[in-house]
Structure 1
Amino acid sequence: MASVTSEKFGKTQDGQDVTRYVFTNKNNLVVKIMDYGGTITDILVPDKAGNVTDICPGFDSLQGYEANPIYMGAIIGRFADRIANGTFILDGVKYQLNCMDLNESGHFLHGGKKGFDKMVWKSHLEGSKLVLKYVSADGEEGFPGELTTTVTYELTDDNELNLTYTATTTKATPLNLTNHVYFNIAGHDNGSLDNHMATVNADTYLPMSDSYIPTGEVRKVDGLPQDMRQPSRLGDRIPNIPGGVGFVCYYILDNKGEKKFAARFEASGRFMECYTTEPGLMFYTGYYLNNTGKNGAHYGRYSAFCLETQQYPDNVHHDNFPNSILRPGETYKQSTTYKFGASS
C-alpha cells in the first residue's frame, strides 16, 4: 500500500486549520487530498518512461479553492447535481432547499450555497487509509435529519484510488454523494481534451432540459453522438453533442449496485479508468471553466472533464428513477475507484 504523510495547507477564512495528505505508492504515483471538502488537489501519474505529470486541475493555495465555486476535486453533498426548483415532498412534508443564484435558473445544485465541498471534515489515518467524517446538522441547506457521512480514500500499489462512502441519518432525507475531481490525462495545464480517447460503458442516458433537469425519459444512445461505448476522440464528439455545450450527460450504468467498469480515458501515454457501484455517472467536459489554476495555468472551455459517479439527478421528482432516500436505521454505501497507468 501507499505511504501517507501530512502537511499543513493553510487556514480557512474563518480560521480553521486545513491538513493535506500526500499518498505515494511503489510506482511513484502521488495523490494529494485535503480535509477541506475532501478535495483531491493533485494526481501525479508516471508514463512508461517514468515522466510524471499532474493530471488533476486545481489551485496553488487553499484560498484558490475557497474563492472558486466550481467544486474542483471536492466531495459533493448532501445531494449532487440538481433538484428542480429546490423543492421536494417527502413523507407528506414539503421542503425548500437553499438554492443557488439565477445562473442555475432557481434550481438546487451540488449541496446548496454551502455544501460538503466547503466544509472542513474531521480527518485521521487508519493505516494507509485517510478517513474523513462530517456531521451535517438537521436542516442544513434545507435538508431534514442529522446526517453523518464518512468518506475513506486509499491508494493501492495497483495504482487504484479507492473512494468509499457511508452515511446514516436521524430522519428520512434525499442523499446523493460524489466527488467532483477534474481530469486532463495529458496534464492539468494541457488546455484541451481534443486528443483524449474516451469510452463510457453505457447503453442509455437521461435527456435534459436547457437548465439540465432530467425530462424523465430514458433514451438509448444507439446512433447518437452520445454513444461512447467504443473509444472515441473527444475533439470529434464534443462539437456534435446537441445543445452546443459539449457533454453534460448523465449515463446509466447497468451494474446493479456491483462495482463494474464505467469509463476509460487515454491521452499522452497515460490512462484513467473508472469503476463504480453507483447507478450512473455525470460526464461533464468543462464548458463553463474559466479559471487560473496551478502555476498560472488557464483552465478554459473543454480543458478538463469530470466523471461524477452518483445517483440519478432530480430523482425526488421522477417515480421511474431509482430513489435515493436514506432512512433512519439504514446505511448508505457506495464505492468508486479510479485506476491510473501508462499506455502505449
Structure 2
Amino acid sequence: MKQVQISEFEPTSSGQMAHFYRIENASGASVTLCDYGASIVSLLVPDRQKLLRDVVLGYAHVKGYETGGEYFGETVGRCCNRICHGRFVLNGQEIQLNCNNGKHHLHGGYRSLSRRIWQAECGGNSVAFTTESPDGEEHYPGNLQVTVTYTFDNTNTLTIAYEAVCDKDTICNLTNHSYFNLDGHQSGTLAHHMLKLFADFYIPIDHTSIPSGEIAPVAGTPFDFRAYKPIPAAFQEDCVQIQNAAGLDHSFAVRSDSPIQAEAYSTESGIRLTCKTTQPAIHVYTANFVETPADLGKDGCAYGKRGAFCLETQNFPDAINHPNFPSPILRANTPYRQETQFHFSLKGEA
C-alpha cells in the first residue's frame, strides 16, 4: 500500500480549504475521500479488461458538496433518512427538529454532518474523519462526537467504520450516501446492472416517503431481489410503491445471518460489488430525482434520473416513531458502532 496522498480541493464558501485523501492499493485501485462531509469522491476499480473505472458519482466543485441535494458520497446524519414531521418523543419530551424536506426532516437537516469540514487523521491505508455536532444543532439533544474511518485494502475492499458517543440520550443513524454505477460514473444508465438483496421484507412508504410502520414481505412484489434480477425490472410504473418514490427509494430488512447483505454486478463491465453490514437495513435508491448539470458533475458529466443506485446501510427510516422498528436511541455515554464493507471484484471471482 502507498502512503495516503493529500491534496487541496477548493475553499468552501466560508474560506476553509477542503482536501482530498487518496488511498491506493498494490494493484492501482484507489479511493479518494474528502474532508468536506467525510465523503467518497472517487472509487477506481478494475473491469474485466483490467481497466480502472470510477464507479461513484461526485461533484466537480466543493460548492456541490456544500449545497447539492443529492448528497453524493457524503456521510449523512445525525439521523439519516426521514423523520416524519421532524418530530419524535424521547424520554417523555417531544422534540421538534428542523424540516428540510417538505414537511419532514431528512438526513440530519440543514446542518447535516455532510455540511461541514471534518478533522482528518491518516494512518497506513486508512483515513479517520472526526467531527462534533453540538447540543441543540438542528434541535437534536446532546453533544455528539462522531468518527468515520475509511480503510481500503489490497483485496479492493472499502471498509467504513462508524463510531459515535453523546453526553445525553439522543438518536443516531449514520450512513454513507454513495451513488454507484458499475459501468463508470459517466455511464448514465442502470441497464446492465443486476442486483441481489438478502432481504425477505421491505418497508412500504407513502407519497412523501414516510413509512406506514408495516414490514412487508417482498414476495410477489417488484421489491423481490432475493435472486439476481435487472434493477430496471423493478420500475413497474403501475405499482403504487414505485409511484410513491418514482422508482426504488425503499429500505430492505436484510438478513443478519447471511455472509453478505447485498450484491450487484454489471453485465457490461463485469464489475461486481458486494455489501456486508452490521446495520439492520439497506436503503436502495435509484437516483429518481437526480438532475445534475455538467458544470456541477465530476469530470464534466451531467447526471440524470435512474443513472446510479445507492446501497445506504442504516437503521429503518423514521424508526423513532415506530416501536416495532429497531430503536435508533443512543443512550448517554454509550458507544455507537456500525460497520459496512463494500468489496469489488469481477463476476465469477471471489
What is the TM-score when the length of structure 2 is the normalising length?
0.94
Q: Does the Cα contact within 8 Å between 1:124 and 1:132 map onto a contact in 2?
A: yes
Match of 1:271?
Answer: 272
- Offset at residue 2 of structure 1 (A): 5.5
Distance in 1, Cα, partners of 2:3 & 2:280: 32
Match of 1:289?
Answer: 290
Match of 2:254?
Answer: 253
Answering whether residue 242 of structure 2 is matched by residue 243 of structure 1, we say yes
One-letter amino acid of the counterpart of residue 217, structure 2? K
Distance in 1, Cα, partners of 2:3 & 2:235: 39
The answer for unaligned runs of 5 or more in structure 1 is none
Q: Pairwise mapping of residues 261-340 of structure 1 onto structure 2 (< 5 A)? A: 261-267=260-266, 268-292=269-293, 293-340=297-344
- Offset at residue 329 of structure 1 (A): 2.5
Q: Pairwise mapping of residues 219-230 of structure 1 onto structure 2 (< 5 A)? A: 219-230=216-227
Match of 2:118?
Answer: 121
Distance in 1, Cα, partners of 2:102 & 2:259: 35
Q: Does the Cα contact within 8 Å between 2:76 and 2:112 map onto a contact in 1?
A: yes
Distance in 1, Cα, partners of 2:291 & 2:5: 32
Q: Does the Cα contact within 8 Å between 1:74 and 1:180 map onto a contact in 2?
A: yes
Distance in 2, Cα, partners of 1:84 & 1:217: 15
- Relative distance call for 1:2 and 1:306 in structure 2 (3 A) is farther
- Offset at residue 302 of structure 1 (A): 0.3
Distance in 1, Cα, partners of 2:67 & 2:324: 38
- Relative distance call for 1:168 and 1:161 in structure 2 (3 A) is same
Q: Pairwise mapping of residues 126-141 of structure 1 onto structure 2 (< 5 A)? A: 126-141=123-138
**Deviation string, structure 1 residues 10-69 (Cα, Å, up to 9, x no partner):** 111101121110011112111100110011000111113221111111122212322322
Aligned partner (choices 162, 165, 179) of residue 162 of structure 2: 165
Distance in 2, Cα, partners of 1:243 & 1:202: 18
Q: Pairwise mapping of residues 33-48 of structure 1 onto structure 2 (< 5 A)? A: 33-48=33-48
**Deviation string, structure 1 residues 227-279 (Cα, Å, up to 9, x no partner):** 001110122222355333111110001217xx841111111211111110000
Q: Does the Cα contact within 8 Å between 1:47 and 1:343 map onto a contact in 2?
A: no
Q: Secondary structure at the match of 1:197?
A: strand
What is the TM-score when the length of structure 1 is the normalising length?
0.95
One-letter amino acid of the counterpart of residue 280, structure 2? P
Q: Secondary structure at the match of 2:233?
A: helix
CA RMSD, 1 decimal: 1.4
- Offset at residue 128 of structure 1 (A): 2.1
**Deviation string, structure 1 residues 67-113 (Cα, Å, up to 9, x no partner):** 3221110001100000000011111111110111xxx3310000101
Distance in 1, Cα, partners of 2:170 & 2:280: 19
Match of 1:78?
Answer: 78
One-letter amino acid of the counterpart of residue 21, structure 1? Y
Q: Which moved more, 1:288-297 or 1:173-182?
A: 288-297
Distance in 1, Cα, partners of 2:66 & 2:249: 24
Distance in 1, Cα, partners of 2:136 & 2:52: 45
One-letter amino acid of the counterpart of residue 107, structure 1? H
Distance in 2, Cα, partners of 1:235 & 1:180: 20
The answer for unaligned runs of 5 or more in structure 2 is none
Q: Pairwise mapping of residues 18-97 of structure 1 onto structure 2 (< 5 A)? A: 18-97=18-97
Q: Does the Cα contact within 8 Å between 1:165 and 1:335 map onto a contact in 2?
A: yes
Q: Secondary structure at the match of 1:273?
A: strand
Q: Does the Cα contact within 8 Å between 1:44 and 1:55 map onto a contact in 2?
A: yes
**Seq. identity, %:** 36
Distance in 2, Cα, partners of 1:251 & 1:210: 18
- Relative distance call for 1:260 and 1:343 in structure 2 (3 A) is closer
Q: Secondary structure at the match of 1:182?
A: coil
- Offset at residue 327 of structure 1 (A): 1.0
Distance in 2, Cα, partners of 1:77 & 1:246: 23
**Deviation string, structure 1 residues 134-159 (Cα, Å, up to 9, x no partner):** 11100001100000011100001111
Answering whether residue 342 of structure 2 is matched by residue 343 of structure 1, we say no
One-letter amino acid of the counterpart of residue 297, structure 1? C
Distance in 2, Cα, partners of 1:128 & 1:29: 12
Q: Secondary structure at the match of 1:66?
A: helix
Distance in 2, Cα, partners of 1:239 & 1:286: 16
Q: Does the Cα contact within 8 Å between 1:279 and 1:312 map onto a contact in 2?
A: yes
One-letter amino acid of the counterpart of residue 265, structure 2? E
Distance in 2, Cα, partners of 1:81 & 1:286: 14
